[in-house]
Structure 1
Amino acid sequence: MSTLVLDGGLSTHLEALGADLRDELWSARLLLEDPGLIRRVHADYFAAGADVATTASYQASIPGFVRRGMDEAEAARLITLSVELAAQARDEAGHGLVAASVGPYGAYLANGAEYTGDYDLDEDGLLAWHRPRWEILAAAGPDLLAVETIPSCPEARALARLLEETPGVKAWISFSCRDDEHLNDGTPITEAAALFAGNPQVVAVGVNCTAPRFIPGLIARLTELPVVVYPNSGETWDADTRGWTGLTDPIEYGQAAKEWQGIGASLIGGCCRTTPAHIRQVRAHVS
């Protein structure tokens, strides 16, 4: 399998272009207020060398939009719009794929739970919560779903069941991890990845929004499957201040991407706090 270069942090580049994302809806707010800026971010990542645009639906959900006063029909329209914007940028670039972001339940909670897996829903509750957005995104016509930043095994099991319910859908599955062996809730990544092993709908399993220093060890535990990795900068999300704290991992991103490719990753990009400059480095270093 040849290496696919993913995009980088959508919200990071939106903020660099002047967007204020200090809001529970985060980048999804711009689906309502400034969709053209989202399309520009997708275009900038394609120009930087990305093969994939990941949609602005990570924090978009029916309950999240309804909580802001919209009805369900308007919420569904905005979720569909996220795919349309990425597809427009892809068509303008003349190449690439659209991956519809399926963010975790913790993103809706907006309390940092995607970095802990501390949820108030069980597996069945998570299945019911995810299903409406999943169905809307699948119907919008992306090339695949990017099931990302999953911090817990119960949520992974719920999403594995959803995938089985929709046999025509392709997806990558990406976990958020606290070290080089475990999901954020403490589940060994090998246990979580096994839920998706052998499913022909799954194009890759891997890790995102995790510190770069943990990526080599995590890849080593996933070599039986195509591997997707798109770490954050190594900083830590503070849910109270809604900002990133700490220091970035001291790596040269392109060289690191080449290392990740060499030990088994076949889809490589960036997550929070990475930019088009990081993706240009990845493109320059991977074949």
Structure 2
Amino acid sequence: MDGPLLAPAAANRRSGATQDGRGCLLLDGGLASELERAGHDLNDPLWSARVLLEDPAAVEGVHRAFLEAGADCITTATYQATFQGLAARGLTADEAERLLLRAVELAVRARDRFCAESARPHRPLVAASIGPYGAYLADGSEYRGDYGLGRAALAGFHRRRWEVLARSGADVLLCETLPALEEARALAALAREGAARA
């Protein structure tokens, strides 16, 4: 990764993903939906990250299917994979870090194998997904943003996952479903901190 965060235009130039000159980038579809369609039960606080623990080959297979369908960018199964949520499942911090890195590795491997076997003119991107604090709560607050936490607490919650994913080999970090401005500001501050260190 060129830094902790690439702007979409920079990511497009890096991958050559936009061929039409309009900046259009086709993101993959619902990773979780496809895992459920394949028979995985995602009724779990870890959501699709549960499958990272139980059947990582299935995650890689869904990445591959989205690439075959024409996706220019695939998203890792890390939306709900937080250090705090994985600790509640019994993983140590080191095990949680390895799982985050494994999620990126699965997406990168699916992309690289796809590129080696296809005649596609550009290299698709891998986006490391960072879901909101509410995704960790798994109570629907990821849509409301009514956590009662300030910017410093939210930055503290996200910091270690951000740092791991920023050095993971993903092309971009994708902050998804942020329902509160304070959380977006916290993540933007983490991006600026990482850029200043790069």
TM-score (norm 1): 0.58
In structure 2, the residue corresponding to 1:84 is in which secondary structure?
helix
CA distance in 2, matches of 1:34, 1:16: 14
1:33 counterpart (54, 65, 75): 54
* Alignment partner, residue 12 of structure 2: none
Runs of 4 or more above 2 Å deviation: none
In structure 1, the residue corresponding to 2:147 is in which secondary structure?
coil
In structure 1, the residue corresponding to 2:61 is in which secondary structure?
helix
Unaligned runs of 5+ residues in structure 1 are 170-287
Q: Name the amino acid aligned to 1:144.
A: V
Quick one: percent identity of the two aligned structures?
53
- Displacement, 1:10? 0.5
1:43 counterpart (64, 81, 90): 64
Task: Give the alignment's Cα RMSD to 1 decimal.
Answer: 1.2
CA distance in 2, matches of 1:142, 1:75: 17
- Displacement, 1:168? 7.5
* Alignment partner, residue 65 of structure 1: 86
**Of the two structures, which has the highest relative contact order with CA contacts closer than 8 Å and spacing of 6 or more?**
2
Q: How many residues align?
A: 169
Q: Does 1:11 align with 2:48?
A: no
Q: Name the amino acid aligned to 2:86.
A: F
In structure 1, the residue corresponding to 2:126 is in which secondary structure?
strand
Unaligned runs of 5+ residues in structure 2 are 1-21, 116-122
In structure 2, the residue corresponding to 1:58 is in which secondary structure?
coil
Q: Name the amino acid aligned to 1:8.
A: G
Q: Name the amino acid aligned to 1:23.
A: D
CA distance in 2, matches of 1:168, 1:17: 42
CA distance in 2, matches of 1:41, 1:14: 7
CA distance in 1, matches of 2:148, 2:52: 28
* Alignment partner, residue 76 of structure 1: 97
- Displacement, 1:150? 0.4
Q: Name the amino acid aligned to 2:101.
A: T
2:151 counterpart (101, 123, 131): 123
1:153 counterpart (154, 160, 181): 181
Decide which structure has greater strand share.
1
